[in-house]
Amino acid sequence: MSTTGVTPTSATGVGLSSGSAPGLDAAALAALTRQLGGGTVDVRAGKGHAWEETGGLAGLRAGGVEVGFVGVSTVLGDPAHPADGCAALPWLEPGLPVKVFAAEGCTAPGRYELTLAQVAALTARTGDSRLVLVETHHGYAPVGELVDLCERAGTGILLDTMGLARITDDPAAAAARLATWTTYGQVKGFDWADPAGSRHRPLASCAGPTREVLAAAGALRAVTVESKAPSLAEDTALLLDWYAAGASRAIA
Protein backbone atom coordinates (compact mmCIF):
# COMPACT_ATOMS: atom_id res chain seq x y z
CA MET A 1 0.00 0.00 0.00
CA SER A 2 1.66 3.24 -1.13
CA THR A 3 1.32 6.10 1.33
CA THR A 4 3.45 8.85 -0.17
CA GLY A 5 1.69 12.21 -0.20
CA VAL A 6 -1.68 10.74 0.75
CA THR A 7 -4.02 13.21 2.43
CA PRO A 8 -7.68 12.62 3.30
CA THR A 9 -10.04 14.89 1.40
CA SER A 10 -12.05 16.65 4.10
CA ALA A 11 -14.05 16.13 7.25
CA THR A 12 -16.23 18.55 9.17
CA GLY A 13 -15.87 16.69 12.46
CA VAL A 14 -13.16 14.87 14.37
CA GLY A 15 -13.59 13.27 17.76
CA LEU A 16 -14.13 10.16 19.84
CA SER A 17 -16.36 7.12 19.95
CA SER A 18 -18.00 6.24 23.25
CA GLY A 19 -16.20 2.91 22.84
CA SER A 20 -12.95 4.73 23.60
CA ALA A 21 -14.20 5.77 27.03
CA PRO A 22 -17.27 3.67 27.88
CA GLY A 23 -17.14 4.59 31.57
CA LEU A 24 -17.40 8.33 31.02
CA ASP A 25 -20.76 9.98 31.53
CA ALA A 26 -22.24 12.18 28.81
CA ALA A 27 -20.76 15.41 30.14
CA ALA A 28 -17.32 13.88 30.70
CA LEU A 29 -17.22 12.28 27.25
CA ALA A 30 -18.10 15.61 25.67
CA ALA A 31 -15.52 17.40 27.81
CA LEU A 32 -12.75 14.94 26.92
CA THR A 33 -13.55 15.25 23.23
CA ARG A 34 -13.35 19.04 23.41
CA GLN A 35 -10.21 18.93 25.53
CA LEU A 36 -8.52 16.91 22.79
CA GLY A 37 -9.58 19.42 20.15
CA GLY A 38 -12.49 17.46 18.73
CA GLY A 39 -16.09 18.44 18.26
CA THR A 40 -17.88 15.19 17.37
CA VAL A 41 -18.71 11.96 19.15
CA ASP A 42 -20.28 8.73 18.01
CA VAL A 43 -22.04 6.60 20.58
CA ARG A 44 -22.98 2.95 20.90
CA ALA A 45 -26.37 2.16 22.45
CA GLY A 46 -27.20 -0.94 24.44
CA LYS A 47 -23.58 -1.76 25.33
CA GLY A 48 -23.52 -0.39 28.86
CA HIS A 49 -21.65 2.78 27.93
CA ALA A 50 -22.21 5.39 30.62
CA TRP A 51 -23.47 8.17 28.32
CA GLU A 52 -26.88 6.49 28.05
CA GLU A 53 -27.76 6.75 31.73
CA THR A 54 -26.10 10.09 32.44
CA GLY A 55 -27.66 12.63 30.13
CA GLY A 56 -27.94 10.78 26.84
CA LEU A 57 -27.85 12.69 23.57
CA ALA A 58 -29.04 15.90 25.20
CA GLY A 59 -26.22 15.72 27.74
CA LEU A 60 -23.63 15.24 25.03
CA ARG A 61 -24.95 18.16 23.01
CA ALA A 62 -25.14 20.34 26.10
CA GLY A 63 -21.45 19.55 26.54
CA GLY A 64 -20.71 21.22 23.23
CA VAL A 65 -20.24 18.29 20.84
CA GLU A 66 -22.12 17.06 17.80
CA VAL A 67 -23.39 13.49 17.85
CA GLY A 68 -22.32 11.92 14.56
CA PHE A 69 -24.34 8.73 14.81
CA VAL A 70 -25.81 6.21 17.23
CA GLY A 71 -24.64 2.63 16.83
CA VAL A 72 -27.10 -0.19 17.51
CA SER A 73 -26.81 -3.98 17.33
CA THR A 74 -29.35 -4.43 14.54
CA VAL A 75 -28.20 -6.79 11.79
CA LEU A 76 -29.91 -6.25 8.43
CA GLY A 77 -31.15 -9.51 6.95
CA ASP A 78 -31.09 -11.33 10.30
CA PRO A 79 -34.49 -12.71 11.46
CA ALA A 80 -33.39 -12.16 15.06
CA HIS A 81 -33.80 -8.42 14.40
CA PRO A 82 -37.35 -7.94 13.06
CA ALA A 83 -38.53 -4.67 11.62
CA ASP A 84 -40.80 -3.88 14.58
CA GLY A 85 -37.77 -4.10 16.84
CA CYS A 86 -35.99 -1.58 14.64
CA ALA A 87 -38.98 0.72 14.91
CA ALA A 88 -38.82 0.60 18.72
CA LEU A 89 -35.09 1.26 19.20
CA PRO A 90 -34.23 4.07 21.65
CA TRP A 91 -32.25 7.21 20.78
CA LEU A 92 -33.17 7.36 17.11
CA GLU A 93 -34.41 10.73 15.87
CA PRO A 94 -34.93 12.59 12.59
CA GLY A 95 -31.67 13.66 10.99
CA LEU A 96 -29.43 11.55 13.24
CA PRO A 97 -27.70 8.63 11.48
CA VAL A 98 -27.99 5.16 12.96
CA LYS A 99 -25.17 2.64 12.52
CA VAL A 100 -26.08 -1.00 11.94
CA PHE A 101 -24.55 -4.22 10.63
CA ALA A 102 -25.57 -6.22 7.55
CA ALA A 103 -25.54 -10.00 7.45
CA GLU A 104 -23.80 -11.78 4.62
CA GLY A 105 -26.62 -12.74 2.28
CA CYS A 106 -28.87 -9.85 3.35
CA THR A 107 -29.64 -9.06 -0.31
CA ALA A 108 -30.30 -12.68 -1.29
CA PRO A 109 -33.76 -13.88 -2.36
CA GLY A 110 -35.83 -14.76 0.65
CA ARG A 111 -33.89 -12.42 2.93
CA TYR A 112 -33.97 -9.14 1.04
CA GLU A 113 -37.59 -8.54 1.99
CA LEU A 114 -36.63 -8.54 5.66
CA THR A 115 -33.69 -6.26 4.93
CA LEU A 116 -35.94 -3.77 3.15
CA ALA A 117 -38.47 -3.86 6.01
CA GLN A 118 -35.69 -3.19 8.52
CA VAL A 119 -34.33 -0.32 6.45
CA ALA A 120 -37.83 1.12 6.09
CA ALA A 121 -38.40 0.98 9.86
CA LEU A 122 -35.07 2.69 10.54
CA THR A 123 -35.71 5.25 7.81
CA ALA A 124 -39.04 6.13 9.42
CA ARG A 125 -37.06 7.10 12.53
CA THR A 126 -34.12 8.89 10.88
CA GLY A 127 -35.98 10.46 7.97
CA ASP A 128 -33.68 9.22 5.18
CA SER A 129 -32.41 5.78 4.19
CA ARG A 130 -28.97 7.30 3.59
CA LEU A 131 -28.81 7.89 7.35
CA VAL A 132 -28.91 4.12 7.91
CA LEU A 133 -25.16 3.51 7.99
CA VAL A 134 -23.92 -0.05 7.47
CA GLU A 135 -20.56 -0.70 9.11
CA THR A 136 -17.74 -2.42 7.27
CA HIS A 137 -17.19 -5.25 9.72
CA HIS A 138 -15.66 -8.73 9.81
CA GLY A 139 -18.19 -11.54 9.85
CA TYR A 140 -20.88 -9.60 8.02
CA ALA A 141 -21.57 -8.60 4.41
CA PRO A 142 -18.59 -8.45 2.04
CA VAL A 143 -17.76 -5.34 0.03
CA GLY A 144 -19.65 -6.39 -3.09
CA GLU A 145 -22.81 -7.03 -1.14
CA LEU A 146 -22.47 -3.70 0.66
CA VAL A 147 -22.37 -1.99 -2.72
CA ASP A 148 -25.46 -3.95 -3.77
CA LEU A 149 -27.26 -2.99 -0.57
CA CYS A 150 -26.48 0.70 -0.97
CA GLU A 151 -27.54 0.72 -4.61
CA ARG A 152 -30.78 -1.17 -4.06
CA ALA A 153 -31.89 -0.10 -0.58
CA GLY A 154 -30.40 3.40 -0.50
CA THR A 155 -28.40 2.91 2.69
CA GLY A 156 -25.12 4.58 3.61
CA ILE A 157 -21.79 3.29 4.85
CA LEU A 158 -19.76 3.76 8.02
CA LEU A 159 -16.17 3.06 7.07
CA ASP A 160 -14.52 1.21 9.95
CA THR A 161 -10.87 0.97 8.96
CA MET A 162 -10.10 -2.23 10.85
CA GLY A 163 -13.34 -3.84 9.78
CA LEU A 164 -12.63 -3.00 6.16
CA ALA A 165 -9.10 -4.39 6.40
CA ARG A 166 -10.53 -7.68 7.65
CA ILE A 167 -12.99 -8.19 4.80
CA THR A 168 -10.84 -7.29 1.78
CA ASP A 169 -7.28 -7.67 0.59
CA ASP A 170 -7.28 -4.14 -0.88
CA PRO A 171 -8.85 -1.75 1.65
CA ALA A 172 -8.02 1.42 -0.32
CA ALA A 173 -9.68 0.08 -3.46
CA ALA A 174 -12.67 -1.06 -1.41
CA ALA A 175 -12.94 2.35 0.27
CA ALA A 176 -12.95 3.99 -3.15
CA ARG A 177 -15.65 1.59 -4.33
CA LEU A 178 -17.81 2.47 -1.30
CA ALA A 179 -17.01 6.19 -1.34
CA THR A 180 -20.28 7.22 -3.00
CA TRP A 181 -22.20 6.09 0.09
CA THR A 182 -19.63 6.69 2.83
CA THR A 183 -20.33 9.66 5.08
CA TYR A 184 -18.59 8.76 8.33
CA GLY A 185 -15.33 7.07 9.27
CA GLN A 186 -14.16 5.35 12.42
CA VAL A 187 -10.46 4.66 12.85
CA LYS A 188 -8.63 2.16 15.02
CA GLY A 189 -4.93 1.58 15.54
CA PHE A 190 -3.89 -1.92 14.45
CA ASP A 191 -1.35 -3.81 12.39
CA TRP A 192 -2.53 -3.60 8.78
CA ALA A 193 -0.50 -6.74 8.01
CA ASP A 194 -2.45 -8.63 10.69
CA PRO A 195 -5.82 -6.93 11.22
CA ALA A 196 -7.35 -10.07 12.71
CA GLY A 197 -4.66 -10.41 15.37
CA SER A 198 -4.02 -6.84 16.45
CA ARG A 199 -6.04 -4.00 17.89
CA HIS A 200 -5.98 -1.02 20.26
CA ARG A 201 -2.61 0.30 19.11
CA PRO A 202 -1.67 3.97 18.74
CA LEU A 203 -2.90 5.36 15.45
CA ALA A 204 0.60 6.65 14.69
CA SER A 205 1.75 3.05 14.33
CA CYS A 206 -0.40 2.67 11.22
CA ALA A 207 -0.78 6.26 10.04
CA GLY A 208 0.22 5.65 6.41
CA PRO A 209 -2.31 3.00 5.40
CA THR A 210 -5.03 4.61 7.51
CA ARG A 211 -4.55 7.91 5.67
CA GLU A 212 -4.63 6.17 2.31
CA VAL A 213 -7.92 4.43 3.07
CA LEU A 214 -9.49 7.63 4.42
CA ALA A 215 -8.31 9.51 1.35
CA ALA A 216 -9.90 6.89 -0.90
CA ALA A 217 -13.19 7.30 0.97
CA GLY A 218 -13.43 10.95 -0.09
CA ALA A 219 -15.14 13.73 1.84
CA LEU A 220 -16.62 12.62 5.17
CA ARG A 221 -18.86 14.38 7.66
CA ALA A 222 -16.81 13.14 10.61
CA VAL A 223 -14.06 10.72 11.60
CA THR A 224 -13.85 9.38 15.14
CA VAL A 225 -11.35 7.30 17.11
CA GLU A 226 -12.38 4.06 18.78
CA SER A 227 -9.49 2.67 20.80
CA LYS A 228 -8.47 1.46 24.23
CA ALA A 229 -4.84 2.40 23.54
CA PRO A 230 -3.47 5.10 25.90
CA SER A 231 -3.04 7.45 22.97
CA LEU A 232 -6.38 9.17 22.44
CA ALA A 233 -4.77 12.63 22.55
CA GLU A 234 -2.18 11.67 19.96
CA ASP A 235 -4.72 9.82 17.82
CA THR A 236 -7.09 12.79 17.80
CA ALA A 237 -4.23 15.16 17.04
CA LEU A 238 -3.33 13.08 13.98
CA LEU A 239 -6.88 13.30 12.65
CA LEU A 240 -7.00 17.04 13.31
CA ASP A 241 -3.76 17.40 11.38
CA TRP A 242 -5.00 15.28 8.46
CA TYR A 243 -8.28 17.18 8.30
CA ALA A 244 -6.92 20.59 9.34
CA ALA A 245 -8.97 22.51 6.78
CA GLY A 246 -12.34 21.32 8.01
CA ALA A 247 -12.01 19.64 11.37
CA SER A 248 -14.15 20.77 14.30
CA ARG A 249 -12.10 22.41 17.02
CA ALA A 250 -12.92 22.79 20.70
CA ILE A 251 -15.75 25.23 21.34
CA ALA A 252 -14.51 28.33 23.19
Average pLDDT on 225-247 reads 88
Q: What is the pLDDT of residue 7?
A: 78
As beta bridge partners, residue 134 has 100, 157
Query: In this structure, which topology does domain 70-242 adopt according to CATH?
Result: TIM Barrel (3.20.20)
| Distance from chain centroid for Cα 34 | 19
As beta bridge partners, residue 234 has none
pLDDT band at 42 (very low <50, low <70, confident <90, very high): very high
pLDDT band at 174 (very low <50, low <70, confident <90, very high): very high
Whether 164 and 192 have beta carbons less than 8 Å apart is answered as: no
pLDDT at residue 32 above 50?
yes
Q: What is the pLDDT of residue 102?
A: 98
Please tell me the distance from the alpha carbon of residue 86 to that of residue 129, in angstroms, as a whole number: 13
Whether 108 and 76 have beta carbons less than 8 Å apart is answered as: no
Q: What is the pLDDT of residue 251?
A: 25
Strands (E), the chain: 11-17, 40-44, 66-76, 98-102, 132-135, 156-160, 182-187, 220-225
Q: Whole-prediction pTM value?
A: 0.94
Q: What is the pLDDT of residue 250?
A: 31
DSSP letter string, 129-163: GGGEEEE--TTS--HHHHHHHHHHH--EEEEEHHH
Each residue's pLDDT tens digit, 99-144 = 999 999 999 999 999 999 999 999 999 999 999 999 999 999 999 9
